[in-house]
């Protein structure tokens, strides 16, 4: 996140909105702290896998590597990214290899949508 904060700071100075940049950085840091405070792992070291696929069954699937956003999210959730590859988007192994563990696997579906500058979520 430090690099993101640095980029926000630099861009806000370039566009002469430094105060707004600092406000945004402070807001992001506050949100991150609140998320970390609300995560309960019950003392367990949780592991996460971030699987990204395409709509085409013939296309390669990718896993979120440890040095990208997936690693940050896993850390934010009080755990670690189970994928330790340095690559940000390593190709996924075949499903039988990935699922060979007897440990339970949880999945979630994340949707995407385009938003415009007037989107109410962005205004919050």
| Residues 58-106 pLDDT 10s | 777 778 888 888 888 888 888 888 888 877 777 765 443 344 344 444 4
Choose among 45, 88, 38: nearest CA to 65: 88
Count of structural domains, the chain = 2
> Residue 30's pLDDT is what?
94
> Residue 80's pLDDT is what?
86
Long-range pairs of 20-24 with CB within 8 A, sequence gap ≥ 24: none
Q: Is residue 95 part of a domain?
A: yes
By residue range, what is the domain housing residue 25?
A: 1-38
Q: The tokens of 73 are what?
A: 């999210």
Mean pLDDT computed over 26-31: 94
- Whether residue 26 is found in the same domain as residue 55: no
Q: How far is 19 from 31, CA to CA, in rounded Å?
A: 18
pTM equals 0.55
């Amino acid at each position: 996140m430090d690099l993101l904060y640095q980029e926000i700071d630099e861009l806000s100075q370039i566009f002469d909105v430094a105060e707004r940049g600092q406000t945004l950085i402070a807001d992001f840091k506050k949100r991150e702290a609140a998320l970390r405070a609300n995560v309960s792992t019950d003392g367990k070291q949780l592991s996460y896998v971030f699987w990204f696929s395409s709509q085409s069954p013939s296309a390669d699937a990718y896993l979120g590597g440890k040095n990208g956003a997936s690693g940050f999210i896993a850390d934010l959730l009080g755990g670690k990214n189970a994928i330790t590859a340095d690559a940000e988007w390593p190709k996924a192994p075949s499903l039988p290899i990935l699922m060979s563990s007897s440990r339970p696997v949880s999945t979630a579906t994340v949707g995407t949508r385009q938003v415009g500058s007037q989107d109410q979520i962005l205004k919050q």
